[in-house]
């Protein structure tokens, strides 16, 4: 169960927790401030996005993450950041298409862009091409850029290569998963490897399959500095979420 009170923790303070004592200090408020409260269902409606924003304000989450077609979001964000996705969910878009999508999203108010890499390029032994496509999106993204690598579909060597490509291209975060790939979502092993590879120079976002408090805390303990959740209310209450993106 989440602690109900305690000192507030910034994202930087939670970047590399290493001891049980550190973990005991992670409060509900601190975890909430690490959450991208997410709605990426294909049948999502503007009314559901409005409800997502209202819930994010109530829960105190860092941001909401919605599809580009939902931008601009109507209403007062009230301090909640606005994130969106790019090349989602397959990543099999041209670099130019991804860059154009990111540029439009930023014009429409997005503070952060979560782009999906072309994992086929990585698996075919061309990490330099992955760097090039990330750089193309980076150039058109005015805010933070997170790079989704679909870690569950990659070998450890490929995870390292993807993280290095993201860093070389100037990304701000590496992110485990879209939540849509059949290989699965986040794992503590992948998060730890990603965190080790970027060494605190980039943030690490864990997303996909995080449906309870213990899993969320385990991801933070492994090195996650941001969490992608669709069932934020249930997780923060110590329950189990049934929601999917």
Any idea what the CATH number is for the domain that residue 35 is in? Answer: 3.20.20.70
In a domain, 15, yes or no: no
Please tell me which residue in 36, 114, 146, 172 is annotated as part of the active site.
114
pLDDT of residue 3: 56
| Contact present, 1 and 213 (Cβ < 8 Å) | yes
In a domain, 54, yes or no: yes
In a domain, 108, yes or no: yes
In a domain, 19, yes or no: no
pTM of the model: 0.90
pLDDT of residue 241: 84
Based on the residue annotation, tell me whether 175 is a catalytic residue of this protein: yes
| Contact present, 136 and 165 (Cβ < 8 Å) | no
Full residue range of the structural domain in which residue 53 is found = 24-236
| Contact present, 112 and 102 (Cβ < 8 Å) | no
In a domain, 9, yes or no: no
Please tell me which residue in 36, 98, 172, 205 is annotated as part of the active site.
205
pLDDT in tens, 197-227: 999 999 999 999 999 999 999 999 999 999 9
Q: What is the mean pLDDT of residues 59-83?
A: 97
Please tell me which residue in 36, 146, 172, 175 is annotated as part of the active site.
175
In a domain, 167, yes or no: yes
pLDDT of residue 1: 60
pLDDT of residue 243: 62
Residue with tokens 């919605």: 66
Distances (CA, A) of 114 to 2, 26, 37, 75: 28, 25, 13, 22
Sequence-ordered list of residues with C-beta below 8 angstroms from that of 238, at least 6 positions apart, any chain: 1, 2, 212, 213
In a domain, 162, yes or no: yes
Residue 101 pLDDT > 50: yes
- Strand partners of residue 227: 35, 206
| Contact present, 129 and 98 (Cβ < 8 Å) | no
pLDDT in tens, 131-141: 999 999 999 99
Based on the residue annotation, tell me whether 41 is a catalytic residue of this protein: no
pLDDT of residue 244: 63
Residue 7 pLDDT > 90: no
Based on the residue annotation, tell me whether 114 is a catalytic residue of this protein: yes
pLDDT of residue 189: 98
In a domain, 97, yes or no: yes
Residue 11 pLDDT > 50: no
Instruction: State the sign of the Cα–Cα–Cα–Cα dihedral 200, 40, 128, 102.
Output: negative
Structural domain total, the chain: 1
């Amino acid at each position: 169960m989440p602690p109900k009170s305690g000192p507030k923790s910034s994202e930087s303070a939670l970047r590399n927790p290493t001891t049980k004592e550190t973990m005991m200090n992670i409060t509900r408020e601190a975890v909430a401030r690490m959450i991208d409260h997410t709605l990426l269902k294909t049948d999502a409606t503007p009314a559901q996005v409005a409800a997502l924003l209202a819930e994010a304000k109530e829960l105190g989450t860092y941001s909401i993450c919605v599809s580009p077609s939902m931008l601009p979001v109507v209403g007062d964000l009230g301090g909640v950041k606005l994130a969106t996705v790019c090349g989602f969910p397959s990543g099999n878009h041209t670099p130019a298409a991804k860059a154009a999508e990111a540029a439009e999203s930023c014009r429409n108010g997005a503070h952060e862009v979560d782009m999906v890499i072309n994992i086929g390029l990585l698996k075919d032994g061309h990490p330099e091409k992955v760097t090039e496509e990330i750089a193309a999106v980076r150039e058109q993204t005015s805010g933070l850029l997170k790079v989704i690598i679909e870690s569950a579909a990659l070998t450890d060597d490929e995870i390292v290569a993807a993280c290095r490509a993201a860093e070389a291209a100037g990304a701000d975060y590496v992110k485990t998963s879209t939540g849509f790939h059949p290989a699965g979502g986040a794992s503590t092993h992948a998060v730890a490897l990603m965190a080790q590879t970027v060494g605190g120079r980039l943030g690490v976002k864990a997303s996909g399959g995080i449906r309870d408090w213990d899993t969320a805390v385990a991801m933070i303990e492994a090195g996650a500095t941001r969490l992608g959740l669709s069932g934020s209310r249930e997780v923060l209450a110590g329950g189990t979420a049934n929601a999917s993106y």
